[in-house]
Chain A
Amino acid sequence: MLEVRGLRKVYTSQDRTVEALRDITFSVAAGELVCLVGPSGCGKTTLLKCLAGLLGPTGGEVRVEGRSVNGPPPGMAVVFQEYGRSLFPWMTVAQNVELPLRHKGHGRAERRRLVTGALADVGLAHTPDAYPWQLSGGMQQRVAIARALAYEPHVMLMDEPFAAVDAQTRADLEDLIRTLWDRTGVTTLFVTHDIDEAVYLGERVVVLSSSPTVVQDDLPVDLPRERDQLDTRAMPRFTELRSRVYGEIRAAQRAASRPDGA
């Protein structure tokens, strides 16, 4: 469904070049929920923008549904970290969710059905006429998720979507993502810097190294499909997986900070 092969991204400015991504290879099968975790500054956002077709890679290739990406792929929806800037303040909640559908060519009745359904799915059936800025941060991110859902994507990319909300809201939103994925089975790639979140949410965790970034590890999460904030996080297996990912990331950071490089 989503294949990344030998992806490399070098930023060149007038006086220096920065190798943000060195060599990234991984894939996400149809219907999978994969978490991508890496230390801060490892180029997660750069990688996501390359996957979303918003940024051209320097080398390598991204394929979505078998087609090489060189612009935003039609079957993809992206949920950004900065919900406050990703939602349009001049549109109501319903209009925000509806806008991409208008350009997808859906009729009016179909659009209304999708918007109402998506808002109900994220628990916001009662606020279609509010403006995003009248809602709390967690609710705003729910609107952004509803917008992605209504689009009926084949692949959903999420770029640290819960980095800016409080702990309780974050737990609720994590469970919302699991529930929605369980029901719709949409292929999801969830980028985060939070190791616990990656293990709790994912069916698989792809670990990135520090910059210049490569894939450090790729491990399946063999936890029961039904996740629970208290029970799952208390499982010995959860702790094991968490420790393993944590160790990988620490090793990566140590390697990167050695003066002679890794």
Chain B
Amino acid sequence: MSARPAGPRVPRTVVLGATGLALTALAAEVLPRALGVPGDVLPPLSVILGALVAELPTPQFRAALAATVVQWGLGLTIAVVLGVSVGVVLGSVPWLRRLTASTVEFLRPIPSVALVPLAVLVLGTQLRSALLLIVYASFWQVLVQTMYGVADVDPVAEQTARSYGLGRWARVRHVLWPTAQPYVATGVRLAAAVALILAITAELVIGSPGLGREIAAAQSGGATALVYGLVLVTGLLGLVVNVGVRALERRLLRWHVSVRGEVAP
């Protein structure tokens, strides 16, 4: 064998990515010290991580992390179920789609955060308020993508199914749903990110339990390092969510062009 180093070769992109991350971390450690930035504005990375590590084992932190994840998951699930079912119905009934199109286009751009006062007024500062915001923001992502997906059903595939006597429900299940799946997956991926943003926002602004409220609490207590530490955690959470949804997408959509790539017959 040749004198190549033992073990599998690490891809170039991974090496570059890791190097970039290391350099950023180094900059975050060195620059605040070198520039003499005060510790209550931007502490060095080691101080931030130290504050975070001290926080990690506390029951308060764990409860906050769990609350955020639960709110996010619950809100996303409701939005996906609603978005997909409404999307399939609106997408497959042309007159209903035309009837609702203008309303959808009007309601969709309303930023969810603008509903905060309304949510607090009607539902109080509990979980329900946060859920309302999360569901409202992520619902549209799923709805719009699902409607695109339903519109993409191939007429030949549909005629094939009809000619073999598949009824309406069987066609929804075997033709419409698989066609819409890649679009729904995109919608879910977008919605997952939006839902996390809104979960943190709700906790920060409304004060529902979660990482956002911990950030606000740390801020009012002057614990700058911990504020940064918690922000890092929310970033990591977003990363995990994105990677998770992508992995799921690749698994479920093996057959789709975007996943399988070009296969030479």
Contacts and interface: CB of A to CB of B under 8 A. Distances in A.
B160 A78 contact: yes
Interface in A3-51: 49
Given A85-B157, A89-B255, A135-B265, A72 B178 contact: no
A86 interface: yes
B159 interface: yes
B163 A76 contact: yes
Contact of A77 (B159, B163, B175, B260): B163
A138 to B, nearest CB: 10
Interface residues of B, number: 21
Contacts of B154: 85
Given A72-B164, A77-B163, A100-B166, 15 more contacts: A52-B159, A72-B162, A72-B165, A77-B164, A80-B156, A86-B160, A88-B157, A89-B256, A99-B166, A100-B164, A100-B165, A104-B165, A133-B255, A133-B263, A133-B265
Contacts of A89: 255-256
A104 B162 CA distance: 13
Contact of A90 (B167, B255, B263, B265): B255
Contacts of A74: 165
Contacts, number: 63
B114 to A, nearest CB: 40
6 contacts: A54-B162, A82-B156, A103-B164, A133-B255, A133-B265, A139-B265
Interface string B204-235: 00000000000000000000000000000000
B170 interface: yes
A190 interface: no
Interface of A: 49, 52-54, 72, 74, 76-78, 80, 82, 85-86, 88-91, 99-100, 103-104, 131, 133-137, 139, 151
A191 to B, nearest CB: 14
B249 to A, nearest CB: 14
A91 B163 CA distance: 18
A54 B265 contact: no
